Amino acid sequence: MVAAAGPADVAEPRADDQRAGPGGWLPPVALYLGVLAVLLVVSWQVASHVDPPVNRGERAFAGGWFWDGWLRWDGGWYRSIAEHGYFYVPGAQSSVAFFPGYPLTIRVVGRAIDNVPLAGMLTTIVCGLGVLVLFWRWCRARMSPGDALVALGLLALYPYAWYLYGAVYGDALFVLTALGAFTLLEHDRPVLAGIAGAAATFTRLVGVAVFVGLVLLVLERRGALVGRRRFGLPRRIELSRLRRGDAGVLLSLGGLATWSLWLWHRYGDPLLFSSVQAAWEQPASLRTWLKIDFGASLLHGSDRLYSGGLVVQATIALAVLAATPFVARRFGLGYGAYTFVLLVIPMIGSQDFQGLGRYCIGAFPAFALAAERLAAHRRAVPIVLAGCAVALVVGTALFADNRYLS
């Protein structure tokens, strides 16, 4: 196991582990394809026995007999946006709540194959595979091969990871763009990193975390954070150490800015994606921030599966949030801040922690940290990974059965 680093010796990427070749691709590709094959069969079998079928009539699509289990819940919104564009009805649930990066991508792919739902699934699969490949290489640059393999297993088998394997949701695209942005910056390509970051902020509001992380990472790389304290917090920032091209990371806000400007032009409200959340009973209010509905669901909710899922998601999210200082100490302030902001935004905006399970997929530095701690107890590794695998299969089956899980 690689020992935890202190503020002065944060892990730096090792150039010899950035090389291409079978070692850089085979483990994540083989693992991804193996898990994908299992989950495809599980989803197909469960969806084929849902009565009545979720997709019928105008919602049916070619190949739906096999793929139908991946088009659930928000997938319907993404399909509608890709096929018909955005709409807004004051006081009602409207598609402007969903950022455009993912639906525009599947619109393009859908036109090429003449099947928008299938385009969403294929987009998720390609992006999910890319996530595991980039994450594997990111880990290999900072960790021992054994620890990196455990980290890869934790992410690939994470109980909510079915969003990387076919679900028509934007999570896989977001995590891919986030990992791509950090990888490009680690290779000293700040402008390209900023463009990849813009794709992240064009896909999810939590892309703001990518912007924060990139800015702090470039400051760390140039030695502009001077006088480190506990967990890498600086005493001062010396901007004079930055290079002109480093400003390229600021481009990462471009996706959010573009979406807000379009909403302002079209509907007169640049923050409409936020204000429309009131239609989902998640307004920016004290009730939402204090998670009153979370407590009500636990005390009075009739669906125990749903309530139990909220507890699981809250537990995972709070554990990852508590680990962010240690992420910063081990991998750097940029990655710690990214992980923190990534979870704080949806945690504040959610009325009951619903959705936090899948948002945690983006917290890739936390998976790496957990892998190092877990690898120290070798006998526990197969037990934990097996438990995650079982939970992932069960979660995929429930999702295909049209259960609202995250």
Model pLDDT for residues 217-259, shown as the tens digit of each residue: 999 998 877 876 665 667 777 777 888 899 999 999 999 999 9
CA–CA separation, 94 and 77 (whole Å): 9
Measured in residues, the chain has a length of 406
How do residues 115-155 score in pLDDT, each as one tens digit? Answer: 999 999 999 999 999 999 999 999 999 999 999 999 999 99
Question: What burial letters (b/e) apply to 62-98, b meaning 16+ CB within 10 Å?
Answer: eebeebbbbbbbbbebbbbbbeeebeeeeeeebbbbb
Instruction: Report the alpha-carbon distance of residue 400 to residue 357 in Å, rounded.
Output: 17
Assessment of whether the complete model's pTM goes beyond 0.85: yes
In the prediction, which pLDDT does 16 show?
Answer: 44
List the one residue out of 48, 135, 117, 26 whose CA is nearest residue 77.
117
Question: 270, exposed or middle or buried, with CB in 10 Å at 0-12, 13-18, 19+?
Answer: middle
Please name the residue that has the structure tokens 């007169």.
Answer: 268
DSSP codes joined into one string, 334-389: HHHHHHHHHHHHHHHH-SSSTTHHHHGGG-HHHHHHHHHHHHTSTTHHHHHHHHHH
What are the residue boundaries of the structural domains of the chain, listed by start?
A: 7-400
Label residue 291 exposed, middle or buried (CB < 10 Å: 0-12, 13-18, 19+).
middle
Tens digit of pLDDT for each residue in 54-105? 554 445 677 888 888 999 999 999 999 999 999 999 989 999 999 999 999 9
- Residue 23 is predicted with a pLDDT of 56
Dihedrals phi, psi of 225, to nearest 5 degrees:
-95, 105
